[in-house]
């Protein structure tokens, strides 16, 4: 399930399906935080027996995107290259030749 602002477009959800190689479901209600609160409230008040039945009762799918197998293969090849580039950049950071791309919280 792909929710939030990105789910409102057509390109980004298809890219996610292609990159991950899985079906991407676009919900009717894209504001997942609000929907999650409603599911929790319904469960807490006894409207639903548990979170699973609340989810099944409220989270409806608007459309389903299937991954393109040719695109998925291209992304997999690019990912292999990216992991090599990333590993080399980490080595250069450790050697003091580059600044890191990001700092973890608290570092």
pLDDT tens, 60-81? 999 999 999 999 999 999 999 9
Domain that holds residue 21: 1-67
Q: What pLDDT sits at residue 107?
A: 65
Based on the fold, state whether residues 32 and 19 are members of the same structural domain. yes
How close are the terminal C-alpha atoms of the chain, in Å? Answer: 33
Using the predicted structure, report yes or no on whether residue 30 has a pLDDT greater than 70. yes
As a whole number, the mean pLDDT across the chain is 92
Count structural domains, the chain. 2
Based on the fold, state whether residues 2 and 43 are members of the same structural domain. yes
CB 47 within 8 A of CB 100: no
Radius of gyration of the chain (CA): 20
Based on the fold, state whether residues 15 and 5 are members of the same structural domain. yes
Q: What is the mean pLDDT of residues 52-59?
A: 88
Using the predicted structure, report yes or no on whether residue 17 has a pLDDT greater than 70. yes
CB 3 within 8 A of CB 47: no
Using the predicted structure, report yes or no on whether residue 99 has a pLDDT greater than 90. no
Percent share of the chain, pLDDT over 70: 99
Based on the fold, state whether residues 27 and 61 are members of the same structural domain. yes
Based on the fold, state whether residues 25 and 74 are members of the same structural domain. no
Has this prediction a pTM greater than 0.95?
A: no
């Amino acid at each position: 399930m792909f929710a939030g602002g990105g789910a409102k477009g057509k390109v980004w959800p298809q890219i996610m399906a292609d990159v991950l190689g899985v079906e991407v479901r676009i919900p009717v209600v894209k504001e997942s935080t609000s929907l999650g609160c409603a599911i929790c409230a319904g469960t807490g008040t006894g409207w639903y027996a548990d979170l699973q039945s609340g989810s099944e009762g409220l989270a409806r799918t608007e459309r389903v995107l299937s991954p393109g197998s040719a695109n998925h293969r291209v992304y997999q090849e690019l990912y292999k290259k990216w992991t090599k580039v990333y590993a080399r950049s980490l080595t250069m950071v450790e050697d003091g030749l580059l600044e890191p791309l990001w700092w973890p919280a608290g570092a």
